[in-house]
Structure 1
Amino acid sequence: MLSRLYKILNPPSPTESDRVDPQKRVNFGCLGAAQITPGCIVNPSRTHPSVVLYAVAARDAKRAQEFAKEHGFSKSYGGPTGYQDLIDDPEVDVVYNPLPNGLHFEWTMKALKGGKHVLLEKPATNTAAEAAQIFALAECNNLVVLEAFHYRFHPAIQRVKAILDSKELGEIKHVSAILTAPAGTAPEGDIRWSYELGGGSTMDPGCYTVNVLRYLTSSNPTAVLTAKAVPYSSRPEHKQVDKMFWATLSLEPEIIGELHSNLDEPKLFGVIPRMPKLSATIQCEKGTVEIFNFLVPSYYHYITVSPSGGRRRTEKAYTFKGTAKGEDWWTTYRYQLEAFVDKIQGRTPQTWIEPQDTIDNMKWIEAIYEKDGFGSRPTSKYIC
């Protein structure tokens, strides 16, 4: 474990044999100097020989320059036209879009119109209709868009699904998914508390719980049976911004899913930060499967299989068996980057998130918001 953690934090440099033809390199341009960018793109790119950190854009030109220098981007764009200037750069092949949720639609559409592939942070958009428009334009222009549910590319969650699909424990009956973050993760004034920018717990950690429910059951919900949410504060601007939510959904055949997320879990005794809860538990006809830390399993996880009347076992999956790519220290983001580059270069990725999957996830996030009364996040004002 220590060796794996060390390599995650200090990934080895590519060897001479890893180097690729310059014509096959992929130049990434990043919109915004977001906190997630180092973990999602910068660090994974260090061990991907085809990925080039080419450019970053930010509203503040100085911030863009500093970010580029700190993380090894060759160019920076700043000011009110910085995002569009990056998109207009003919050397940019891929646009990474980690902007606030409410800006995902506008800048992804602009990137696609500029002929760029897009790695798009989750949740893809504020509405399912916007997600559908993005993928329609991508298909029309023969471009790739991937919603960055990075955990889906790791061996751990795929191992859980393989156990369920094998029917070793019979049919799925109940799924519980929970994802919480300690208070302070999104401090006062954070974009995640802005309704206009697509904020809220259901949109942030909650979108993962909706996704993992649908992924593990290989099914879409049929109805939101119950939903409850708590606003971030009593101020009028937060009346539609949830800091936590609970929902119960029905899925076919006869499956019940219970979801919970909290973006602001209070400190214990008011002083001790709580550990995040990152688990999914699946109850089947003949036993139970639980995965602890499905979100970032590369650091540590365990899969507990408990057959009814049988011997419980614990599994871990840091790599794929057989010929699939990967190292035990590859993060979820590194696996995701491998699949994304494979896709845009015409190879078959180990796994993929199809457009309809993204659209359906947004559909059910909206359905939960409709049920709990908080309502969908606002549609983008950008006119295509």
Structure 2
Amino acid sequence: MGSMISMANRIYQAFNPPVQSARAGDALKFGVLGAASIAPLALITPAKSHPEVIIQAVSSRDRKKAEEFAKAHGIPEVKDTYEDILNDPNIDCVFIALPNALHYEWATRAIRAGKHVLLEKPSVSNATEAELLFNLPELSQPNGPVILEAFHSRFFPAWSYFRSLVDPANVAHVNAVSMIPWWGTSKDDIHFNYNLSGGSMMAMGTYNLAVMRLLFDAEPEECLDCQVHSYTDGVHDKCDWDFNAKFRFPNGGIGEASSTLKGPTYWTPSHVTVTQNEVILSDKSLPDSQLKAQKRELTLHGFVHGIFWHRIDIKDVFEIRDRDTGKVVRRWEEKTNHKAYTFKEAGGQFADLPGESFWMSYRHQLEQFVNRIKGRKTQEWVDGKDSIAQMKMLDMAYEKSGLGPRPTSSFR
């Protein structure tokens, strides 16, 4: 009962954080491009508890929608166009949560206007756009604009702790699974619009592919297989609603990813399981004729939205063997589990990092985004090279599936 009450309190505070009424004099003012449903979760709510962030303005292609959005979320200004936000010298940063196909154009326009950019994932539609965006000359200038692909899950304490348990060179297999129930999407959603760069791999699947890259600490050499179910009718053409992909990594390890936007009624948490190669341990208590072997399996349940619930399972299988014959003398398992809603709970190298138990991954992400703009140390980051590699992996999977990468914008 106590854990349920603790969970309820944590989640309530996450969505109703203590408001920082006194804002810093040099607080960053954000403009939101598009009155998107993700904006409250990804920026507006996290900003309430950040003393250096003000949500100043919003713009939508539908003025009425923008006005209703601004009223609902206490945003003081409504702009007629996205350009009006970019042209406003009072705006420091923009949050771009437009359909995927518009990310490249408006991120490029924002960078050229000197605005810092928090860009919803996936960053763009394909690797061609990623190369163009993240190699913009403005991004390499001293004190130039900052851009961050908003892979919020990478900023959560549980993920940092989980990754610290993994030896990338020794990873044999990674399996990453995510889902959205069937009732959470509809055929008319942007997820299923090819011209807007839709598809399950672009939606939830991008999380799965990212965790594989990070756990192997390498880029895949080949997509071995990618099975999809997709639409073949008009505007929905080439949009996958689920996928199952397999990749080979440089150390010979295999990564598998699967996701669906038409999952079962009950929403199950995302999970990623890492199987490491067997290692031989030094154990001086054993006679010379025997050796001790260990094989480790690690699972992070809830790697996408850890604030709601997550758990890290560690299973170690040990064997004592005859050194000459390989015969197993003794075999046993040891299982433990951990949680880390704060960096203090993660402990070790993370213990002194900031954060409260109610901080969502988006709040941790915002902390680092502000730190980078302010020239302070960032404990986690997604740089342009990383974002380009991510889109190359997505393209690789789409090529293998037969659907092909999402279309490239004509904007330059």
Task: Report if the CA contact (8 A) 1:181-1:277 is conserved.
Answer: no
Name the structure 2 match of 1:251: 249
Q: Which amino acid aligns with 1:73?
A: I
Matching residue within 19, 30, 47 for 1:13: 19
Matching residue within 405, 408, 412 for 1:376: 405
| Pairs within 5 Å for 1:190-209 | 190-209=189-208
Does residue 337 of structure 1 match 2:404?
no
**2-side partners of 1:205 and 1:255: how far apart?**
23
Matching residue within 281, 300, 303 for 1:291: 300
| Pairs within 5 Å for 1:254-269 | 254-265=252-263, 267=264
Task: Report if the CA contact (8 A) 1:55-1:86 is conserved.
Answer: yes
Name the structure 2 match of 1:99: 98
Shift of 1:216: 1.6
Which protein has the larger Cα radius of gyration, Structure 1 or Structure 2?
A: 2
**2-side partners of 1:320 and 1:259: how far apart?**
28
Task: Report if the CA contact (8 A) 1:126-1:198 is conserved.
Answer: yes
Task: Report if the CA contact (8 A) 2:368-2:378 is conserved.
Answer: yes
The normalised TM-score by structure 1 is 0.92
**2-side partners of 1:202 and 1:331: how far apart?**
24
Matching residue within 344, 369, 387 for 1:358: 387
**2-side partners of 1:251 and 1:56: how far apart?**
42
Task: Report if the CA contact (8 A) 2:128-2:408 is conserved.
Answer: no
Cα gap change, 1:12/1:277 in structure 2, threshold over 3 Å: closer, same or farther?
Answer: closer
**2-side partners of 1:345 and 1:134: how far apart?**
22
**1-side partners of 2:84 and 2:130: how far apart?**
24
Q: Which amino acid aligns with 1:375?
A: G
Is the partner of 1:334 in helix, strand or coil? Answer: helix
Name the structure 2 match of 1:270: none
Name the structure 2 match of 1:320: 343
Shift of 1:9: 2.5
Shift of 1:162: 0.4
| 1:132-160: CA deviation from partner (whole Å, max 9, x where unpaired) | 22122242452111000000000111111
Is the partner of 1:260 in helix, strand or coil? Answer: strand
Q: Which amino acid aligns with 2:42?
A: C
Shift of 1:15: 7.0
Q: Which amino acid aligns with 2:370?
A: V
Shift of 1:237: 3.5
Q: Which structure 1 residue ranges, 4+ long, deviate > 4 Å from structure 2? A: none
Q: Which amino acid aligns with 1:190?
A: D
Q: Which amino acid aligns with 2:238?
A: Q
Q: Which amino acid aligns with 2:180?
A: A
Shift of 1:188: 2.4
Name the structure 2 match of 1:367: 396
Which runs of no fewer than 5 residues in structure 2 stay unpaired?
1-6, 278-294, 319-332, 345-350
| 1:210-243: CA deviation from partner (whole Å, max 9, x where unpaired) | 1011112211101111111111x34244331110
Name the structure 2 match of 1:61: 63
- How many residue pairs get aligned? The number is 366
Task: Report if the CA contact (8 A) 2:232-2:238 is conserved.
Answer: no
Does residue 281 of structure 1 match 2:310?
no
Task: Report if the CA contact (8 A) 2:93-2:118 is conserved.
Answer: yes
**1-side partners of 2:114 and 2:21: how far apart?**
32
| 1:70-92: CA deviation from partner (whole Å, max 9, x where unpaired) | 111110013xxx11111111111
Q: Which amino acid aligns with 2:96?
A: N
Does residue 185 of structure 1 match 2:194?
no
Cα gap change, 1:173/1:154 in structure 2, threshold over 3 Å: closer, same or farther?
Answer: same
Which runs of no fewer than 5 residues in structure 1 stay unpaired?
268-272
Q: Percent identity?
A: 37
Task: Report if the CA contact (8 A) 1:120-1:146 is conserved.
Answer: yes
